[in-house]
Amino acid sequence: MKIAIDLDDVISSTLARVIPFYNERTNSNTKREDYTDYDWTKIWGCSKEEMLKIWNEFAKSKNYEEILPIKDAIPSVLSLMEKNEITIMTARSRDIKNETLNWLKKYFQEKEIDLIFTGEFGKVDGIKKSKAEICNKLRIPLIIEDNGEYSLQCAEEGIKVILFDALHNRSASHENITRVSGWEEAMPLINKMQENQ
Ligand SMILES: [Mg+2]
């Protein structure tokens, strides 16, 4: 089965590292519970340009390399790779392609990884394709995601979504979306979907 898997906060525990970076950089004191929206401009009270500037600084800094994987993510993805066609699909822009590849290499070693950058998150304007459009085009029937908006877009296109529960996605609800607490809950669901294919 073809499966798309999001990177930030599905495979890599990105937000946990972004928060201390942002706090230090701007002398703020934001906490995890403040991040109730995926759009950080609302939490940081800044423009998209400023938010992306801070994000890019983060991505090019040592903090980025120090991002840890989400619990059980690496063994789960490796196990899914054995029987499925896995595409890691990130909304990041290609500006941080090297940093992204280096991080993946650290945890997946020599495994060949199919990686798609949609650019939805990383650009102010420019050409962007939604995850829903790409999944449709590549005939990917399942995506594992934590962004509520992308999840709804996919669900509305008939793509099944396993949504990693987070404060910022609580309003996303659809019959094609199954909310899970993490990989431990996701894996049996994916295995069941494979059986029904
Ligand atoms: Mg994500």
Digit-coded pLDDT (tens) for 85-140:
999 999 888 888 999 999 999 999 988 899 999 877 766 455 568 999 999 999 99
- In the chain, the largest separation of any two C-alpha atoms, in whole Å, equals 51
Residues 3-47: tens digit of each pLDDT: 999 999 999 999 999 999 999 999 999 999 999 998 999 999 999
Distance 8 CA to ligand 1 centre (A): 4
Kindly give the distance from the C-alpha atom of residue 7 to the centroid of ligand 1, in angstroms, as a whole number.
6
Instruction: Check residue 38 and report its DSSP letter.
Output: S
Q: Tokens at residue 41, please?
A: 């401009």
Alpha helices in the chain (DSSP H): 14-26, 40-44, 48-59, 62-65, 73-83, 97-108, 131-137, 148-156, 183-195
Strands 2-5 and 177-180: unpaired
The Cα 17–Cα 5 span in angstroms is: 20
Q: Are 25 and 44 in contact (CB under 8 A)?
A: no
Centre a 10 Å sphere on the Cβ of residue 125 and count the other Cβ atoms it contains: 6
Cα(169) to ligand 1 centroid in Å equals 10
Around Cβ 197, how many Cβ atoms within 10 Å?
8
How many Å apart are CA 193 and CA 197, to the nearest integer? 6
- Give me ligand 1 centre to Cα 29, in Å: 23
Q: What is the structure's pLDDT at 72? A: 98
Residue ranges near ligand 1 (ion) with Cβ within 5 Å = 6, 8-9, 146
Task: Give the H/E segment covering residue 171.
Answer: none
Please report where in the chains the tokens 């990686």 appear, as a residue: 115
Ligand 1 centre to CA of 13 (Å) is 9
Percent of the chain with pLDDT over 90: 83
Q: Give bridge partners of residue 89 from the DSSP assignment.
A: 116
Distance (Å, whole) CA 190 – CA 146:
16
Q: What is the pTM of this model?
A: 0.94
Structure tokens at 8: 């930030």
Query: Which strand ranges, in their side-by-side order, compose the sheet holding 160-164?
Result: 114-117, 85-90, 2-5, 142-145, 160-164, 177-180
Q: What is the pLDDT of residues 150-165, one digit of tens each?
A: 999 999 999 999 999 9
Backbone angles phi, psi at 87, to 5 degrees: -120, 125
Tell me the CA–centroid distance for residue 27 and ligand 1, in Å.
25
- How many Å lie between the centroid of ligand 1 and the Cα of residue 25? 22
Distance, CA 195 to ligand 1 centroid (Å)? Answer: 26
